[in-house]
């Protein structure tokens, strides 16, 4: 993440200068995107550093959730970027700006190479980590922006049609919005304590009844996650009065680990109460 942030921040300056000199909105939009990429990658790096801190009395679950917050913020920032690109394209559409195709092509090509390198640096990490995915989406948006700028530059050089720059910018904005939506949706689901994929309370209840003959009833099932990698489950099981409480709790935790991949579970086990027979 640190290496990706340095590469992105350095080329952002080059692309901004190139966009100003050539008059290309596609390049300037991509430079603006790279600015937020630099911030997003820096935040992602910070999130990984903070997530390594051990839990303390104030943060008993540790700091893993910080990376999810960063992913959520990064996803929202992509909406802002896409909106700015579309707004600028609308303003320019009524007042066409002369774009220099050759400088635009050179800078966009260099930008594409840098973005490819940064993208592969990032996906070399944990591809399932939401923080990595949100950062990768930022860079992928940049990569697509560079491709769009190259395409627009070629159209301008070959035909002189200036609106190509605006259309390519809007196309990139739409692609960015689609990717951002899924990141924000997934990060928001975790922040709202939603059940992780594959942890349906109905499935858990049915599985417990199927696996353990002593279980009469399973209730108060709650499933959520601290981060994508840390699902959590709590439940209460009522068992036959002749079975062991501690042994059953241990077996349920083992089943949650083996069947559902849950390493942290809080299981309360109670025996069915014997009926009170009052003497007449």
Q: Could you tell me the domains of the chain?
A: 2-191 (1.20.1510.10), 201-271 (3.30.70.1350)
Quick check: 252 pLDDT over 90?
A: yes
Quick one: pLDDT at residue 276?
Answer: 54
Quick one: pLDDT at residue 95?
Answer: 67
> What average pLDDT does this structure show over 243-267?
93
Quick one: pLDDT at residue 167?
Answer: 81
> What average pLDDT does this structure show over 124-142?
71
Quick one: pLDDT at residue 112?
Answer: 85
Better-scored residue on pLDDT, 98 or 208: 208
Is residue 215 exposed (0-12), middle (13-18) or buried (19+ Cβ within 10 Å)?
buried
Better-scored residue on pLDDT, 64 or 259: 259
Quick one: pLDDT at residue 280?
Answer: 46
> What average pLDDT does this structure show over 24-50?
74
Better-scored residue on pLDDT, 234 or 29: 234
């Amino acid at each position: 993440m640190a290496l990706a942030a340095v590469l992105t921040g350095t080329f952002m300056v080059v692309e901004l200068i190139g966009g100003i000199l050539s008059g290309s909105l596609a390049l300037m939009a991509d430079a603006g995107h790279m600015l937020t990429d630099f911030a997003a990658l820096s935040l992602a790096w910070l999130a990984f550093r903070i997530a390594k801190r051990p839990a303390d009395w104030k943060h008993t679950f540790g700091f893993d959730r910080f990376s999810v917050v960063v992913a959520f913020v990064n996803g929202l920032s992509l909406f802002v970027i896409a909106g700015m690109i579309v707004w600028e394209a609308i303003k320019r559409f009524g007042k066409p700006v002369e774009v220099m195709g050759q400088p635009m092509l050179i800078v966009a090509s260099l930008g594409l190479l840098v973005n490819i390198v940064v993208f592969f640096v990032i996906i070399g990490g944990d591809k399932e980590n939401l923080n990595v995915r949100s950062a990768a989406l930022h860079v992928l948006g940049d990569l697509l922006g560079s491709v769009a700028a190259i395409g627009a530059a070629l159209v301008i050089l070959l035909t002189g049609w200036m609106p190509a720059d605006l259309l390519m910018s809007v196309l990139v904005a739409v692609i960015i919005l689609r990717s951002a939506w899924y990141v924000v949706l997934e990060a928001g689901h975790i922040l709202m304590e939603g059940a992780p994929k594959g942890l349906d309370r109905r499935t858990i209840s049915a599985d417990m009844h199927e696996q353990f003959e002593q279980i009469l009833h399973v209730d108060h099932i709650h499933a959520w996650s601290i981060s994508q990698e840390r699902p959590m489950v709590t439940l209460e099981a009522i068992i036959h009065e002749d079975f062991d409480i501690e042994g059953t709790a241990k077996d349920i935790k083992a089943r949650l680990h083996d069947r559902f991949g849950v390493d942290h579970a809080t299981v309360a086990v109670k025996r069915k109460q014997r009926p009170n027979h009052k003497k007449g």
